[in-house]
Amino acid sequence: MSKPFTPKVVTANALLEGDVVYLTADDRWSRLLSEAEVIEDAAHGDLRVLHGSSQADVVVGVYLIDVALEDGVPQPTHFREEFRTRGPSNYNHGKQAELV
């Protein structure tokens, strides 16, 4: 028996800046996980990954990540993805600089 489908969002890296981005329900790429479209169905998730992958001039490395909803806001369930939400780790820029 297969595992039940868990909520997911589509993520990738912006081609020019390298920032982590998330696909929104209105087909934008956002740097905010809170704006990501939460996917509740495996077939819909596959379609959204295909849609994101077709934008090779905008993003690279498109894939689904597991999320849990906390007060209606998606939160990553895996350490790697939680770490990616913080931005670059080599020095203070991008998302890290915005938090200061």
Reply yes or no on whether the pLDDT at 97 is more than 70.
Answer: no
Q: What residues does each domain of the chain span?
A: 8-99
The pLDDT, as a whole number, for residue 86 is 74
The pLDDT, as a whole number, for residue 13 is 93
Question: In whole angstroms, what is the distance from residue 23 CA to residue 32 CA?
Answer: 10
Length of the chain: 100
Locus of tokens 């077709």: 54
pLDDT 10s digits, 51-96 = 999 999 999 999 999 999 999 899 988 877 877 777 665 556 556 6
Reply yes or no on whether the pLDDT at 100 is more than 80.
Answer: no
The pLDDT, as a whole number, for residue 85 is 79
The pLDDT, as a whole number, for residue 87 is 66
Strand arrangement of the beta sheet that strand 73-76 belongs to: 29-30, 20-23, 8-14, 59-70, 73-76
**DSSP structural state of residue 33:** G
pLDDT 10s digits, 8-62 = 999 999 999 888 999 999 999 999 999 999 999 999 999 999 999 999 999 999 9
Locus of tokens 């819909």: 44
